[in-house]
């Protein structure tokens, strides 16, 4: 699917965009639907039928909820049917093997359809919001299916709720400003993915494959720091590409990342990281459970439920559940007392505190078992092969510049500098004139990297 997505972007995207722009407005959703189905079917020729099935289920449920607006029993049955079918399919493909193992059965996991968690949550948001009367019914199946299958973000987010695009799905316009913004955001995402994520990720792949008991502390820290930057630039890069492509098509997709590694608390980190997923769980799990409206005890219970489910959403393993609960416990601690302490300490201290705890969390996220996670953590804190070894020095020399680029890119420095130059009377016009040249140069560099690269994973496609 990774190769198919790149083929699509570099060869079929121009064709899709030209066809889309030349097509009369009333037929544009047909172009979106066909391109989305083609994109998904290129890598998942069988599972595209399952995606169409769940799309039809949710579309029908929405029509029923609208048609029988005054009959609560029918509305509720339609909603329950939609949720049961969606979560049932998600459970069968993503969690059945894990559940079977818990009860002692030997069952091989089914091949996981690419992006199933993303488009399932996206489609479910429509029927839930219809039931809550937050949105209007979409009577055109083509338009609804075009929303579900929007190719820029169908397999890796951001999670676009129908509420986000309900006006644009039927009536949208594109101007030169929006197109220019879209191109810029897309290229920024491509640079994140191809130049930063792919190259720093090679170090983590190398270190992760070693015997954790033989790692020096420095090597272990270098490895997990490499993954820390890899997952950020991989996922935020793809999200930026999706947002940019959305603008080129006339859509304003929601922001998904906001420099999360400069956060001063874990709570703030999760307001900046994978924003659309956090918003989804808040709207459809945390608030329906009661949120923080029924006392501290139930608030803490609701937080535990949300964070266990957040971990489980990412994958069917105990590592993901522990990872989710780890952040849940930290957020509860900040809610109870730690948040007040962090608000008073030096911002550098609170930022370092947050970053280190996030890095430790990534160990659970990307190791295979709980035992592996603790063995790796042991190596990080001196329980492996000493503090430094020759491998650590070699990796520091080879990756120092790349680490520096990743660190700077994860802050607001480049953004603030760009805004400052753009607003400058002396340099603003020159900068604006150079932007297309710089973008074209970056596009050429990224293409060269892709042509020459043998390592090009998309981490979040597996979710």
pLDDT tens for each residue of 151-210: 777 766 688 888 888 888 888 888 888 888 898 999 999 899 989 998 999 999 999 999
Q: Which of 285, 332, 291 is nearest to 313 (CA)?
A: 285
The C-alpha atoms of residue 269 and residue 358 are separated, in whole angstroms, by 9
158 upstream amide cis, omega within 30 of 0: yes
The C-alpha atoms of residue 166 and residue 173 are separated, in whole angstroms, by 14
Look up residue 272 and give its two tokens.
């900046």
Q: Do 157 and 66 reside in the same domain of the chain? A: yes
Residue 457 lies in a domain: no
What mean pLDDT do residues 321-345 have?
94
> Which residue is catalytic, options 259, 274, 294, 314?
314
Q: Do 130 and 189 reside in the same domain of the chain? A: no
Q: Do 278 and 146 reside in the same domain of the chain? A: no
Q: Are 61 and 131 in contact (CB under 8 A)?
A: no
Q: Do 273 and 187 reside in the same domain of the chain? A: yes
Q: Do 288 and 434 reside in the same domain of the chain? A: yes
Determine which of 47-51, 127-131, 147-151, 416-420 has the lowest per-residue pLDDT on average: 416-420
Distance of CA 53 to the CA centre of its chain: 24
Q: Do 41 and 188 reside in the same domain of the chain? A: no
Residue 463 lies in a domain: no
Compute how many other C-beta atoms are within 10 angstroms of the C-beta atom of residue 400.
10
Angle between helices 296-314 and 318-333 (to 10 degrees): 150
Q: Which of 318, 308, 304 is nearest to 367 (CA)?
A: 318
Determine which of 24-28, 35-39, 52-56, 354-358 has the lowest per-residue pLDDT on average: 35-39
The number of domains in the chain is 2
Residue 199 lies in a domain: yes
Q: Are 118 and 157 in contact (CB under 8 A)?
A: yes
Q: Do 300 and 338 reside in the same domain of the chain? A: yes
Q: Do 182 and 163 reside in the same domain of the chain? A: no
Q: Are 113 and 50 in contact (CB under 8 A)?
A: yes
The C-alpha atoms of residue 424 and residue 33 are separated, in whole angstroms, by 43
Q: Do 227 and 165 reside in the same domain of the chain? A: no
Predicted confidence (pLDDT) at residue 459 exceeds the cutoff of 80: no
Residue 289 lies in a domain: yes
The C-alpha atoms of residue 112 and residue 124 are separated, in whole angstroms, by 19
Q: Do 185 and 328 reside in the same domain of the chain? A: yes
Residue 67 lies in a domain: yes
Q: Do 255 and 164 reside in the same domain of the chain? A: no
DSSP per position, 134-181:
-S-----HHHHHHHHT-TTTTTT-----HHHHTTTTTS----HHHHHH
The C-alpha atoms of residue 94 and residue 365 are separated, in whole angstroms, by 17
Question: Global pTM?
Answer: 0.90
Among the candidates 113, 139, 172, a domain finishes at 172
Residue 460 lies in a domain: no
- Render pLDDT for 207-245 as a digit per residue (tens, 0 to 9): 999 999 899 999 999 999 999 999 999 999 989 988 998
Confidence of residue 4 (pLDDT cuts 50, 70, 90): very low
Among the candidates 107, 142, 172, a domain finishes at 172
Confidence of residue 128 (pLDDT cuts 50, 70, 90): very high
pLDDT at position 372, please? 95
Q: Do 307 and 426 reside in the same domain of the chain? A: yes
Among the candidates 172, 187, 215, a domain finishes at 172
**Host domain of residue 349:** 178-452
Residue 459 lies in a domain: no
Compute how many other C-beta atoms are within 10 angstroms of the C-beta atom of residue 144.
24
Residue 462 lies in a domain: no
pLDDT at position 293, please? 87
Tell me the residue length of the chain. Answer: 463
CA distances from 308 to 174, 283, 323 (A): 41, 16, 8
The C-alpha atoms of residue 425 and residue 57 are separated, in whole angstroms, by 56
Q: Is 294 in the active site?
A: no
The C-alpha atoms of residue 428 and residue 420 are separated, in whole angstroms, by 9
């Amino acid at each position: 699917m990774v190769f198919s997505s790149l083929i699509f972007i570099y060869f079929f995207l121009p064709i899709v965009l030209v066809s889309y722009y030349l097509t009369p407005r009333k037929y544009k959703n047909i172009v979106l639907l066909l391109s989305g189905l083609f994109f998904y079917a290129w890598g998942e020729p069988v599972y595209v039928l399952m995606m169409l099935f769940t799309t039809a289920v949710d579309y029908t449920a929405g029509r029923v909820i609208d048609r029988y607006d005054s009959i609560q029993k029918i509305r509720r049955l339609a909603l329950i049917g939609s949720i049961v079918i969606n979560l049932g399919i998600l459970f069968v493909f993503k969690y059945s093997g894990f559940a079977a193992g818990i009860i002692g059965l030997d069952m091989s996991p089914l091949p996981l359809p690419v992006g199933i968690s993303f488009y399932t949550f996206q489609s479910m948001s429509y029927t839930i919001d219809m039931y809550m009367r937050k949105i209007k019914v979409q009577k055109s199946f083509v338009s609804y299916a075009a929303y579900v299958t929007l190719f820029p973000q169908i397999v890796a987010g951001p999670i676009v709720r129908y509420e986000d695009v309900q006006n644009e799905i039927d009536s949208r316009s594109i101007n030169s400003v929006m197109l220019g913004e879209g191109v810029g955001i897309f290229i920024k995402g491509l640079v994140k993915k191809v130049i930063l994520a792919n190259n720093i990720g090679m170090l983590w792949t190398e270190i992760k494959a070693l015997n954790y008991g033989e790692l020096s502390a420095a090597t272990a820290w270098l490895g997990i720091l490499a993954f820390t930057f890899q997952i950020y630039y991989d996922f935020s890069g793809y999200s930026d590409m999706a947002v940019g492509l959305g603008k080129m098509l006339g859509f304003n997709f929601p922001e998904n990342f906001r420099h999360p590694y400069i956060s001063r608390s874990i709570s703030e980190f999760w307001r900046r990281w994978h924003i659309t997923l956090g918003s989804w769980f808040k709207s459809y799990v945390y608030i329906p459970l009661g949120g923080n409206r029924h006392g501290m005890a139930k608030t803490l219970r609701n937080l535990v439920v949300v964070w266990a489910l957040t971990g489980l959403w990412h994958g069917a393993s105990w590592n993901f559940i522990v990872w989710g609960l780890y952040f849940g416990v930290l957020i509860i601690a900040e809610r109870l007392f730690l948040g007040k302490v962090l608000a008073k300490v030096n911002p550098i201290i609170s930022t370092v505190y947050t970053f280190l705890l996030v890095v430790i969390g990534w160990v659970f996220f990307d190791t295979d078992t709980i035992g592996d996670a603790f063995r790796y953590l042991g190596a990080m804190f001196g329980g492996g092969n000493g503090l430094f070894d020759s491998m650590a020095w070699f990796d520091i020399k080879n990756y120092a510049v790349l680490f520096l680029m990743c660190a700077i890119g994860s802050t607001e420095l480049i953004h603030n500098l760009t805004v400052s130059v753009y607003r400058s009377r002396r340099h603003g016009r020159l900068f604006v004139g150079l932007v297309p040249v710089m973008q074209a140069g970056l596009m050429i560099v990224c293409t060269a990297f892709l042509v020459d690269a043998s390592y090009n994973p998309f981490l979040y496609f597996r979710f």
